[in-house]
């Protein structure tokens, strides 16, 4: 069966991905959780390359939620170190491909090393005009809306709230993929998911290869988006 999607007229402009299942993937193989996260990081590069090839404009990756700080300290430290190592290893290649890297979330809890890496990645790629990869770190959808509302003086309305989100120039999410069999959005981009199409895959994130990605896109291509209107 041909799993390569017919994307000539119908591709998501903004794709969101909840990359779930790294820990389970590792435990199923008798590995430590950090190895699962490392395998998941390698999958990021592959899927970003897929998105770049087919013309997706924005990809938002749920990399570290506000709730993830509650995980064991060793796992949190491993995730922070992995973020730094991933960016240092891949940033030049992303930049050479005209990819822009942005970050969404709060930054107060990050170490100086993490902040320096984030700032360097953003500054290096800020003028690139190709695919935009948004890494959502220390991110929560409720927190984003709350932070936006706190910036507004006077009456709060949808336009004002939207213009005060972490990245106000970014469009709404067209298509959300979540891996690992869980079927919830877990406080991810609540504002921008208002009319998103949702896709839940049973595959754990480190195993979510190009074939699985094409399955998801084929599903998206069957959807008729109505945005609340009757058609």
Helix (H, G, I), strand (E, B) or coil at 83: helix
Question: Catalytic residue at 68?
Answer: yes
Q: Distance between CA 223 and CA 168 in Å, rounded?
A: 27
Q: Distance between CA 131 and CA 51 in Å, rounded?
A: 8
Considering 20, 52, 138, 174, which one is annotated as catalytic?
20
Residue/partner pairs of 113-116 with CB below 8 Å, 24 or more apart: 113/84, 114/80, 114/83, 114/84
Two structure tokens written together for 195: 């009319």
E strand or H helix at 130, and its extent? Answer: none
Whether the Cβ atoms of residue 1 and residue 217 lie closer than 8 Å to each other: no
Question: Catalytic residue at 20?
Answer: yes
Two structure tokens written together for 74: 């060793």
Two structure tokens written together for 87: 């960016």
Considering 32, 49, 68, 81, which one is annotated as catalytic?
68
Whether the Cβ atoms of residue 214 and residue 4 lie closer than 8 Å to each other: yes
Two structure tokens written together for 100: 């822009």
Would you please indicate which residues are annotated as catalytic (active-site) residues?
20, 68
């Amino acid at each position: 069966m041909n799993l390569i999607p017919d994307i000539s007229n119908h591709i998501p402009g903004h794709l969101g991905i909840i990359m779930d299942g790294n820990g389970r993937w590792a435990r199923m193989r008798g590995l430590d959780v950090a190895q699962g996260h490392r395998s998941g990081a390698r999958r990021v590069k592959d899927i970003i390359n897929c998105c770049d090839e087919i013309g997706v404009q924005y990809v938002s990756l749920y990399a570290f939620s506000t709730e993830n700080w509650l995980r064991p300290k060793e796992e949190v430290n491993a995730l922070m170190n992995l973020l730094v190592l991933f960016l240092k290893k891949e940033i030049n290649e992303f930049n050479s491909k005209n990819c822009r890297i942005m970050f969404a979330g709060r930054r107060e809890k990050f170490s100086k090393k993490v902040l320096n890496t984030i700032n360097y990645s953003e500054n290096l790629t800020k003028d690139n005009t190709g695919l935009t990869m948004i890494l959502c770190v220390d991110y929560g959808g409720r927190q984003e809306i709350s932070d936006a509302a706190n910036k507004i003086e006077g009456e709060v309305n949808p336009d004002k709230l939207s213009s005060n989100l972490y990245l106000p120039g970014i469009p709404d999410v067209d298509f959300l993929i979540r891996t690992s069999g869980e079927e919830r959005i877990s406080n991810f981009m609540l504002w921008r998911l208002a009319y998103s199409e949702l896709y839940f895959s049973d595959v754990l994130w480190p195993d979510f290869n190009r074939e699985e990605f094409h399955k998801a896109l084929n599903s998206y291509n069957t959807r008729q988006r109505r945005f609340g209107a009757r058609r």
